[in-house]
Homo-oligomer: A and B are copies of this chain.
Amino acid sequence: MTDTEAEILRRLDRIESRDEIRQLISKYSLALDMRDMDAMAGLFVPDVRVGGGKSGREALRAWLDDTMRQQFDGTAHHVGTTIIEFTDPEQAVGIVYSKNEHEAGAEWVIMQMMYFDKYERVDGRWYFRRRLPLYWYATDLNKPPIGGRKMRWPGREPYEGSFHALFPSWTEYWDRSGPEAGPLAPPAPLEEFIETMRRGNEVHGNRVR
């Protein structure tokens, strides 16, 4: 193999990987909305961590089956805005916006949220290592989510979502009274946009269910 061929194969692997991950994200929506819990669970790494100290695809399947069954008569997860970036050839992170809709008894709950994803390649295939949901609002179709505590599920106390919690820029923006005056930061390197925006920040106390 020539050096040029080696370089081409490396670039081809990268573009194929991003494409496979992009499809992985959409497969999750379809599998979940069609309640194919086996298909859904198979999109995660075999040792995926589930709540309550459990792990593995079977535990995830049981947990999500139950979550869906108790709350919803139907759902749609409509993905949009998507950034996928590689930390090395076998691992990547992603931000994925999703507009979710839920039929929940007498209420039709609309939602805008994003996932902060970690992807991992295992035996040549890309999987979710983790999906961290960050919610902006959940509210009835007829009730604009104005004001605080925008997570308004029927029959539950409203609470704050974590839509802005991953990125320090949100708080800094509101702490200022006008445009920043300092020198402009240089553009983030390719594959480092999310991490540059995140600055090592983590989300704490996020409610996911």
- Contact residues of A with B, CB < 8 Å? 1-2, 4-5, 8-9, 11-12, 15-16, 18-20, 23, 26-27, 29-31, 34-39, 41-43, 57-58, 61-62, 65-66, 69, 74, 76-84, 95, 97, 99, 101, 103, 106-108, 112, 114, 125, 136, 140-142, 144-146, 163-164, 167, 169-170, 172-174, 178-180, 184-188, 190, 193-194, 196-197
Oligomeric state, in number of copies? 3
Question: Are A11 and B16 interface neighbours, CB within 8 A?
Answer: yes
Additional A-B contact list (10), CB under 8 Å, known A35-B173, A39-B185: A4-B9, A35-B174, A39-B196, A41-B184, A78-B80, A78-B97, A78-B99, A80-B99, A103-B145, A107-B144
CA distance A30 to B107 in the complex (A): 29
CA distance A185 to B27 in the complex (A): 15
Neighbouring B residues of A97 by C-beta, 8 Å: 29, 76, 78-79
Question: Are A142 and B140 interface neighbours, CB within 8 A?
Answer: no
Q: Which of B26, B35, B125 contacts A190 (CB 8 A)?
A: B125
CA distance A37 to B1 in the complex (A): 45
Question: Are A4 and B4 interface neighbours, CB within 8 A?
Answer: no
Nearest residue (CB) in B for A66 is B179
